[in-house]
Amino acid sequence: MLKKYLKLTLIAGIVVLLDQLSKALIVKVLPLHSARTVIDGFFNLVHIHNPGGAFGLMAGMGPAVRTTVFLIVSAMAVGLILYFYHTTPADRPWLATGFAMIFGGAVGNMIDRVRMGAVVDFLDFHIGGWHWPAFNVADSAITVGVGVFVLHVVLRKTTI
């Protein structure tokens, strides 16, 4: 059992560390609301603060309400992910890894909400006029983790 939680700590810890270091670097080198082109017509580094949830959800609400709601929802999500991780059988290592990535991503974004009331986003992909909303390392880990979970549910494989 200890080995299982060491894996959670290691994976989630790496996600949180990479997330917080990358955000700190962006905050240091790019002024708020600025951008640097990395691949012309496809990828920019930007510095924005997202006070809302995914895709700016609830961004227009008052800061106290928004922060309270997101911290409560985040805490509930973290608890649920820990439960899923705890109940994941040992023969499903990829599923456990996915849950650990989701957990790390949720913690990374929660740290921003507690510190600043908003999440730092900086990865900006686009093709022509089509833009994907800016995101960060924590969001990426959550997305990959959810993808692993979906594959597990869809494929119902014992190796995932």
Please state, rounded to an integer, the average pLDDT across all residues of the chain: 90
Asked, for residue 132, whether it belongs to a domain, the answer is: no
Any residues with CB less than 8 A from the CB of 113 and at least 6 apart, and which? 67, 70, 71, 74, 119
Cα 4-23-101 angle, rounded to 5 deg? 20
Residue 37: name the closest of 124, 132, 99 by CA: 124
pLDDT grade for 73, boundaries at 50, 70 and 90: confident
Lowest mean pLDDT segment, chosen from 104-108, 128-132, 149-153 = 128-132
Pairwise CA distance, residues 9 & 15, whole Å: 10
pLDDT of 109 = 94
d(CA 72, CA 66): 10
Count helices and strands (H / E) in the chain: 4, 4
Name the catalytic one among 19, 112, 124, 139: 139
The yes-or-no answer on residue 124 being catalytic is no
Residue 63: which domain range?
A: 2-31+57-119+137-155
Who wins on pLDDT, 117 or 145?
145
List residues bridging with 106 in a β-sheet.
Answer: none
| Residue whose pair of structure tokens reads 């240091």 in the numeric block | 28
Residue 24, domain member (yes or no):
yes
Residues 6+ apart with CB under 8 A from 89: none
Q: Is residue 127 part of a domain?
A: no
How many residues does this entry show for the chain? Answer: 160
| Residues 16-71 pLDDT 10s | 999 999 999 999 999 999 999 999 999 999 999 998 766 556 666 667 777 778 78
Residue 48: inside a domain, yes or no? Answer: no
Total domain count, the chain: 1
Query: Mean pLDDT, to the nearest integer, of 72-94?
Result: 93
Q: Determine which one of 19, 112, 121, 124 is catalytic.
A: 121
Asked if residue 50 belongs to a domain, the reply is no
8 belongs to a structural domain: yes
Query: Is residue 42 situated within a structural domain?
Result: no
Q: Is the pLDDT of residue 157 over 70?
A: no
Query: Does residue 159 register a pLDDT over 60?
Result: no
Q: Is 139 a catalytic residue?
A: yes
Average pLDDT over residues 120-133: 93
Q: What pLDDT score was predicted for residue 64? A: 75
In a domain, 125, yes or no: no
